[in-house]
Structure 1
Amino acid sequence: MKTSQTLISTSKFLSLVLRHQDAMTGDAIVGCILGTAVGDALGLPYEGVSPMRAERLLGPPDRYRFLLGCGMVSDDTEHTCMVAQSLIEARGDVDVFTNRFASRLRWWILALPAGVGKATARSGIKLWLGAKPENAGVFSAGNGPAMRAAIFGAAIDEMSPMLEMVRASSRLTHSDPKAEYGAIAVALAAKHSRQHPTINANQWLDQVVDAVGEAGTELIELLQKAIDSVGERESTNTFADSLGLGKGITGYTYHTVPVAIYAWLSHPKDLRQAVTEMIRCGGDADTTAAIVGGIVGTGVGREGIPAEWIHGICEWPRSTVWMERLGASLSGCLAGDASARTPTVNPIAVLLRNLFFLVVVLFHGFRRLAPPY
Structure 2
Amino acid sequence: MGDALGLPYEGVSPQRAPRLLGPPDRYRFLLGRGMISDDTEHTCMVAQSLIDARGDVDVFTKRFASRLRWWILALPAGVGKATARAGIRLWLGVKPQNAGVFSAGNGPSMRAAIFGAAIDDVKLMLEMVRASSRLTHSDPKAECGAIAVALAAKHSRDHETVDANLWLDHVVNAVGDDGVELTDLLRKAVLSTRAGESTPDFTQALGLAKGVTGYTYHTVPVAIHAWLSHPKDFRQSVTTIIRCGGDADTTAAIVGGIVGAGVGCGGVPEEWIDGLWEWPRSVTWMRSLGESLADSIDEKPITVTKAPSINPLGVLVRNLLFLLVVLFHGFRRLAPPY
Q: What range describes the TM-score normalised by the shorter chain of this pair?
A: over 0.9
Is 1:45 equivalent to 2:8 in the alignment?
Answer: yes
SS in structure 2 of the partner of residue 213 of structure 1: helix
SS in structure 1 of the partner of residue 162 of structure 2: coil
Name the structure 2 match of 1:285. Answer: 248
Partner letter of residue 285 of structure 1? A
Report the Cα offset of residue 233 of structure 1. 1.9
Name the structure 2 match of 1:222. Answer: 185
After superposition, where does 1:1-373 map in structure 2 within 5 Å?
A: 38-337=1-300, 338-373=303-338
Report the Cα offset of residue 215 of structure 1. 1.8
Cα separation, 1, equivalents of 2:198 and 2:176: 30
Cα separation, 1, equivalents of 2:85 and 2:306: 30
Report the Cα offset of residue 145 of structure 1. 0.1
Cα separation, 2, equivalents of 1:340 and 1:101: 17
Report the Cα offset of residue 340 of structure 1. 1.7
Name the structure 2 match of 1:28. Answer: none
Report the Cα offset of residue 336 of structure 1. 1.8
Report the Cα offset of residue 339 of structure 1. 3.2
Report the Cα offset of residue 341 of structure 1. 1.5
C-alpha offsets along residues 99-141 of structure 1, whole Å, 9 cap, x if unaligned? 0000000000000000000000000000000100001000000
List structure 1 runs of 4+ shifted beyond 4 angstroms.
none
Cα separation, 2, equivalents of 1:210 and 1:74: 32
Structure 2 unaligned spans of 5+: none
C-alpha offsets along residues 169-223 of structure 1, whole Å, 9 cap, x if unaligned? 0000000000000000000000000000000000000000000002210000000
Cα separation, 1, equivalents of 2:254 and 2:162: 17
Partner letter of residue 256 of structure 1? T
Structure 1 unaligned spans of 5+: 1-37
SS in structure 2 of the partner of residue 52 of structure 1: coil
SS in structure 2 of the partner of residue 274 of structure 1: helix
Report the Cα offset of residue 286 of structure 1. 0.2
C-alpha offsets along residues 249-301 of structure 1, whole Å, 9 cap, x if unaligned? 00000000000000000000000000000000000000000000000000000
Report the Cα offset of residue 232 of structure 1. 2.1
Partner letter of residue 311 of structure 2? N
Alignment RMSD (CA, Å): 0.5
Q: What TM-score, normalized by structure 2, do the two folds share?
A: 0.99
Report the Cα offset of residue 234 of structure 1. 2.2
